[in-house]
Amino acid sequence: MHMSAHKLTRRLRDLLGEIATEAGRMLVSQITLKYGDEADLNALRRMGLVEIVDHPIVENRFTNLPAAAVAITEAGRSTLGAGPS
């Protein structure tokens, strides 16, 4: 879905900024703890502004595989640089 189909609220823009600052090291679980659920993250994913990636250091203790982290996409960086929508 394209950016025009969704409004980037202040809350979503703040989350996007946090994700950009963490450079692929913000865990999905951190977002869930801070924001209460994954709804905001899922909204950003549907807009193509973030993607789920493997965390470069942290492993899931149950699977020994990399933990799920969130990284900003080029579209997300462009959106942050564009100012308020």
**Span 3-80 CATH architecture:** Orthogonal Bundle (1.10)
Contact call for residues 64 and 42 (beta carbons, < 8 A): no
Report d(CA 53, CA 72) in Å as an integer. Answer: 10
**Mean pLDDT by groups of 10 residues along the chain of 85 residues:** 62 91 85 85 93 86 86 92 62
Q: Which strand (E) or helix (H) includes residue 78?
A: helix 74-81
- pLDDT value of residue 82: 65
The residues with which 9 forms a beta bridge, in sequence order, are none
DSSP summary character for residue 27: E
Q: How many CB atoms lie within 10 A of CB 74?
A: 9
For residue 82, give every residue at least 6 positions away whose Cβ sits within 8 Å of its Cβ, in sequence order, or none: none
- pLDDT value of residue 32: 86
Output the pTM of the full model. 0.78
